[in-house]
Amino acid sequence: MTNKSVILFDGVCNLCNSSIDFIIQRDKNDQFLVGPLQEKEGKELTSKFDVPQDYMDSLVLVEEDEIFFKSTAALKIAKHLSGGWPALYPLIYLPKGFRDVVYDWIARNRYKWFGKKNTCRLPTPEEAAKFLSAANTPA
């Protein structure tokens, strides 16, 4: 694999897909690879950290040999985005339990508020290099 950080997301969640689009547009330093938790590559990566195969409760960030979930993952991602988003990173110093209350509330309601797809999204040709599945495909 590469030395990039990997973001895993619920591939059928409309909010999650919109968030990934947002991240891809602001990942000017090409820091991240992304992929659905439901796909083989996502399951293989999370299994290295003993995450249950059916885990869909949050955004997941894998940096080097560490895995991060929920608001911690989101803030660590924001730190690397272009624009003013890194300014949110100091929120990491708030207690995780406090941060995750808001994250969990949105996560619990994401399908009701934003809807879901029947299948995971496919990357456009322009996005393909940003997806974990393409990074693991032999050229």
pLDDT of residue 138: 43
* Residues in the chain, overall count: 139
Taking residues 83-92, report their average pLDDT. Answer: 96
Written as one letter, the residue type at 99 is R
pLDDT in tens, 111-121: 999 999 887 77
pLDDT in tens, 30-39: 999 999 999 9
Q: Is the pLDDT of residue 137 over 80?
A: no
Taking residues 83-98, report their average pLDDT. Answer: 96
Burial 89-103 (b: 16+ CB within 10 A, else e): eeeeeeeeeebbeeb
pLDDT cut 70: percent of the chain above it: 94
pLDDT in tens, 39-75: 999 999 999 999 988 888 889 999 989 999 999 999 9
Residue 83 in contact with residue 70, Cβ under 8 Å? no
Give the C-alpha separation, 66 to 88, whole Å. Answer: 21
* Count of CB atoms situated within 10 Å of the CB of 43: 18
pLDDT level of residue 134 (50, 70, 90 thresholds)? low
Give the C-alpha separation, 87 to 72, whole Å. Answer: 14
Cα Rg of the chain, angstroms: 14
Q: Is the pLDDT of residue 136 over 60?
A: no
Give the C-alpha separation, 26 to 30, whole Å. Answer: 9
Token pair 């891809």 is found at 24
Pairing of strands 60-63, 66-69: antiparallel
pTM: 0.89
